Structure 1
Amino acid sequence: MDFQTQFISALKAYCTLRNIALDESFFARPMDVHDEPTIGELDVFWKEIMHCSGDDLLGLHFGESMQLAALGIVGQIITTSKTVGEALGKGASMVPLIAEGFEVSSEVIDGKVKIGIQASEEISLQYPYYHKAMGDFLGALIIHELDGLIVDKMTPSQISGSFTSDTLNEYCRVFRCQDYRHSKNMAISIDMNFLEIPIITSNYKMQQFLQTLLLKNHAVDLENGESLISRVGAYIMGNSYLRILSIDDVAANFNLSSRSLQRKLKEEGSSFKEIVDHVRKELALEYLKDRNNQVKDVAYSLGYNESSAFVRAFKRWTGTTPSMYLM
């Protein structure tokens, strides 16, 4: 499967998760290397997605949520990179395979590495929806693709872009940075020390296990409209590796405020806390079915800093300890 096909497949799954009704004929078209959608077609498509979702930052949110779906794309980068610097360099060289007309560059300025995301002038003028969506997507993906694969999350020292008063706070949240500058092109500045941070390739193997699990269990039925509880649960599960998303993160990805999300979940008879607890339980039970997964690794994968906290939660869920469950 080529990168463009993987991208379109991941975008379809994300639109389903967001309950965005789209023209299925676009997704049904052949996607071999000789019949990829043109930039013009993608521009129309992104315009439709933004209109149907009411989310002008959908490209940004898609990039933020892309970690598990992107494993097929970034997997070979991760497994052949020893450090963040190597991973970013290899990833930059692959950007044209995912986003035609875009390139990612880097330069060192005052001890910081400035990662720039640019598209040709023609694309920015003729295809504004594609330009905005893919620029946002690439920026968010750069920040979030290594979550769980390095000890600390990537946190930029400064971000640049064409932010507005209505969108600035959301860009700052997704990019994990409050220091910003207004500019025509998007750029992300990180401390040079980040480049030397090692990639934890063993964590990548656990991520692959989670990806396989999600595909096998079909967390969201793509053919039927699912409840918000199901869609929120599926989103949390798909982004659960080494972290449990905050309600602010989840609400923003569904284009809702935290209060609105809580209210809608309550109307369906649940709460954000209950969904998070359910996701952790389901993942724990699935992880432990594979006897190669150690209890301490499962605890760590679910975001527990201490195995004892995981053991207490597991006993609350099942009435027994993980060790007894494995017997």
Structure 2
Amino acid sequence: MTRPLTVSATWLVGVIEELTRQGIDPSRLGAPWAQHLEDVAAPTRHLQLVQVRRLWQRAMQLSGDPLLGLKVGVALPLQSMNVVALVLMHSGSLRQALGHTVRLQQLVSNSGRFLTEPAANNGLQLVYRVTPSPVAMHPAQIDSLFAAYLRLLYRCMQANRRPTSVELPGTESHLTDHYETYFECRVILGGEHSRILFDAETLDSPWQAADPTLLRILLGRAEALLTTQGRSDTLVDYVAAAIAAQGFSEANCDSVARSLDLSRRTLQRRLAERGSSFRQLLEAVRMSEALEGLADPALPLVMLAERLGYAEPSAFSHAVRSHFGKAPRALRDELVGDLSARGKALGISSHESSDNPSSTCEAD
């Protein structure tokens, strides 16, 4: 059982608004973003990582602009990063800000992890490692993250201080000049890593406008949010484990609450405090498991639908369409294609059996 990873709603709302400004109709993004934008906007709400990745893939299909990620990232409002943006702005130096980034990043997104590693001449590199998922992270989504993050840092750094270089994978090198215009430094495209390199002098130059007293207050708030998120994650883990133990067909709010020695009302209240509900969590875990199953071409869709508690294949198909914007078969083709492409890039041979005879009776 895999607990769904999430992305902050404040970040996602900023992305959707910028995609709209770039001429993309939210209703065409493969999920009902336009209708539910107000619900999504709750500051404590988190959305599934896989949904956000699907959104970016669909946006790039609709746009076709290779610079869309950069354009969205540089235009995102500071509020998109909530308290993390304020912590970074009032850090005493870039080195301190990078440390806070690594510590607090999960308040914004679980789509990947920032790590700091030593670089030449006492410098430092900030490396971004994508969280594994059946749904691949589109390079444009990484572009948007790096563009938004560096734009925030540039507001704090001295005008003559910039990274030594930025390295991004998945983008053609002929666009280098455009990327260097956005990032204001040397850019390496199509590389193996996603990372930013800083020299020692840039790392330790003081940020004149930083307020250490305010920083302490902001860090206290951020740590409290991390603790709250940790409790939320623990509750989600317990509920997800109970659902897995009972089975998707049998699990319900009453049975799960009893297994956790809680009343139904207490479980509902605690989930509501975390911006969720039992029904939303059940569907989130179910769709997370659906992705894992769809990524396995040898698993018949009818069997997967039964495993997830759907009485009819058509109900499973409708749920997948509503959640991911594609029918199960089309999504499977995409997932298997992504896995195959990644395997070839790593030199791993692929032996998918996508023409399994059992697929002829599976749901669309």
When residues 35 and 90 of structure 1 are mapped into structure 2, their CA distance, relative to the original with a 3 A threshold, is closer
**Does structure 1 residue 201 correspond to structure 2 residue 209?**
yes
Q: Deviations over 1:117-148 (max 9, x none)?
A: 1113x33xx322x3423322222233211233
Do structure 1's residue 145 and structure 2's residue 152 form an aligned pair? yes
The TM-score with structure 2 as length reference comes to: 0.47
Q: Is 2:124 aligned against 1:113?
A: yes
CA gap of 1:200–1:26, structure 2 versus 1, over 3 A, is farther
Q: Which has the larger radius of gyration?
A: 2
Look up the SS of the partner of 1:95 in the other structure. Answer: helix
Q: Tell me the TM-score normalized by structure 1.
A: 0.52
- Aligned positions of 1:114-133 closer than 5 A: 114-120=125-131, 122-123=132-133, 126-128=134-136, 130-133=137-140
- Is the 1:159–1:179 Cα contact (8 Å) retained in structure 2? yes
2:308 aligns to what?
none
**How far did residue 26 of structure 1 move?**
5.0
Displacement of 1:48 in angstroms is 2.2
What amino acid maps onto 2:166 in structure 1? Answer: I
Q: 1:8 & 1:146 partners in 2: Cα distance?
A: 20
1:50 matched to 2:60: yes
Asked if structure 1 preserves the Cα contact closer than 8 Å seen for 2:102 and 2:114, the reply is yes
CA pair 34-155 structure 1, distance change in 2 beyond 3 A: closer
Report if aligned partners of 2:93, 2:207 keep a CA contact under 8 Å in 1: yes
Does the 8 Å contact 1:117/1:187 carry over to 2? Answer: yes
User: Quick check: 2:13–2:40 contact (8 Å CA) kept in 1?
Assistant: no
When the two chains are superposed, the root-mean-square deviation of aligned CA atoms in Å is 3.0
Q: Bigger CA drift: 85-94 or 132-141?
A: 132-141
Q: CA deviation at 1:91?
A: 1.8
User: 1 CA distance for matches of 2:150 and 2:40?
Assistant: 31
* Inter-partner Cα distance in structure 2 for 1:69 and 1:30: 15
The one-letter code matched in structure 1 to 2:108 is I
Gaps of 5+ in 2: 1-5, 28-33, 212-364
Residues 133/172 of structure 1: CA separation in 2 closer, same or farther (3 Å cut): same
Choose from 4, 20, 23 the match for 2:8.
Answer: 4
User: Any stretches of 5+ residues in structure 1 without a counterpart?
Assistant: 204-327
Shift of residue 165, structure 1, vs aligned partner: 3.0
Per-residue deviation, 1:52: 2.7
Q: Residue 191 of structure 2: which of 183, 187, 194 is its match? A: 183
1:152-301 pair list within 5 angstroms: 152=159, 154-162=161-169, 163-178=171-186, 180=188, 182-201=190-209
C-alpha deviation, 1:154, in angstroms: 4.4
1:17 aligns with 2:24: no
- Structure 1 residue 100: deviation in Å? 1.4
Q: Secondary structure at the match of 2:148?
A: helix
CA distance in 2, matches of 1:57, 1:70: 20
Q: Deviations over 1:159-199 (max 9, x none)?
A: 22223134333222222223536422211111111111222
What is the aligned residue count?
198
